């Protein structure tokens, strides 16, 4: 089960890297039309990466405290992920987001996260939930 958690975590990370790269490439870091706050994006990323590193160390050291630490890190990762998911949903329901610089302008700019493919977002979320469950079950068995 511990290896299954690692595999699902790595698959989740691949989807996350794709979305992060897309978001950055389309100007998400510069703010503008993005509905995803920069601290939330990078907090989600860094906590998930730290948890993955701790999980790998747990696999090598087989220390129960490391399994629970990795699980504890996944909880805020999941909360930040849900927050971003619901903000992303609002973007997908709106064809465009008006820029703050030109409230009366006829031009509209698209939010960077609008470019996320729906299957990637859903797959990332499903594998994240599977990872959370597998890590919890593994920690309980440790």
Tens digit of each residue's pLDDT (9 = 90 or more) over 74-91? 999 999 999 999 999 988
How many CA atoms lie less than 13 Å away from 56 in the CB half-sphere?
A: 8
Does residue 79 lie in a domain region? Answer: yes
* 8 Å CB contact between 121 and 85: yes
Check residue 95 and give its pLDDT: 60
Q: Which residue has the higher pLDDT, 69 or 142?
A: 69
The verdict on residue 117 lying in a domain is: yes
Please write the tens of the pLDDT for every residue from 10-68: 999 999 999 999 999 998 888 678 899 999 999 999 999 999 999 999 999 999 999 99
Is 72 within 8 Å of 139 (Cβ atoms)?
A: no
* Mean pLDDT calculated for residue range 114-128: 96
Given a cut of 60, whether residue 113 has pLDDT beyond it is yes
Rounded to 5 degrees, what angle do the CA atoms 87, 90, 92 make?
Answer: 115
Say how far apart CA 124 and CA 6 lie, in whole Å: 14
* Whole-number pLDDT of residue 107: 40
Domain of residue 22: give its range: 2-97+111-141
Please give the tally of structural domains in the chain. Answer: 1
- Does residue 86 belong to any structural domain of this protein? yes
User: d(Cα 21, Cα 28) in Å, to the nearest integer?
Assistant: 10
pLDDT band at 96 (very low <50, low <70, confident <90, very high): low
Concatenating the DSSP letter of every residue in 88-111 gives HHHHHHSS-B--TT-TT-S--B--
């Amino acid at each position: 089960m511990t290896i299954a958690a690692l595999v699902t975590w790595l698959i989740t990370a691949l989807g996350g890297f794709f979305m992060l790269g897309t978001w950055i490439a389309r100007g998400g870091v510069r703010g503008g039309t993005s509905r995803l706050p920069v601290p939330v994006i990078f907090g989600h990323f860094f906590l998930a990466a730290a948890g993955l590193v701790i999980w790998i160390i747990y696999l090598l050291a087989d220390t129960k405290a490391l399994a629970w630490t990795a699980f504890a890190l996944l909880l805020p990762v999941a909360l930040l992920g849900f927050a971003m998911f619901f903000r992303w949903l609002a973007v997908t329901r709106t064809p465009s987001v008006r820029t703050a610089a030109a409230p009366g302008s006829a031009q509209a700019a698209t939010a960077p996260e609008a470019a996320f493919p729906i299957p990637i977002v859903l797959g990332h979320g499903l594998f994240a939930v599977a990872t959370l469950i597998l890590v919890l079950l593994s920690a309980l068995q440790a």
